[in-house]
Structure 1
C-alpha cells in the first residue's frame, strides 16, 4: 500500500528484483517515468503526511549523497536568478558606457 499519487513499494521492489535483461524497452521507460513522478511526489509531500510504509520506502530509495528533486530545483532557480542578474548588470554597464562617451 502507498500514499495517494505515490508508487507502491511492492511495485518498486518487484522492479528492483527483475533483472534489466528481462525488461522490455517499454518497461524500462515506464519505470523511469513512474520513478521520477514518485520522487517528485515524495519531495513535495510533507514528512508528517507520509504513512510509515511510505516513509520507509522513501528512506531506502534515496541513495546516500543523492540530491532531492526539490533541492535540484532550488539550485536551478538560484542559478537562473544569478544569470539574469549578471546579464542585466552587464547590459546596464554597456548602456552607461555607450552613453557616457567613453
Structure 2
C-alpha cells in the first residue's frame, strides 16, 4: 500500500496541538500547504490502496472525500 503524499497521523497531531497563535508565519503556511496536499491525496487515492492508518486518519479528520469504502 502506498501513502505517497500523505501526512502521518503523528504529523497531523503535532500540527494540531500547537495553537495557531504560537506558530510563525512559516509554520502556519507550511501546515496549510501540507494539509491541502494531504486532502488532495486523500481524495484521489482509492480507498482500497490506503493503509489502515490512513483510513482511520481520514475518518477522524473528515478528510475522506473519496468514499469508495473497501
Fold agreement, TM-score > 0.5: yes
Stretches (4+) displaced over 2 A = none
TM-score (norm 2): 0.82
Query: Within 1, Cα distance between the matches of 2:48 and 2:31?
Result: 27
Indicate the structure (1 or 2) with the bigger Cα radius of gyration: 1
Q: Which of structures 1 and 2 has the larger relative contact order (alpha carbons within 8 angstroms, sep 6+)?
A: 2
- Unaligned runs of 5+ residues in structure 1 are 71-102
Between the two proteins, the alignment pairs up a number of residues equal to 64
* Aligned Cα root-mean-square deviation (Å): 1.8
- Unaligned runs of 5+ residues in structure 2 are none
Bigger share in helix: 1
TM-score (norm 1): 0.58
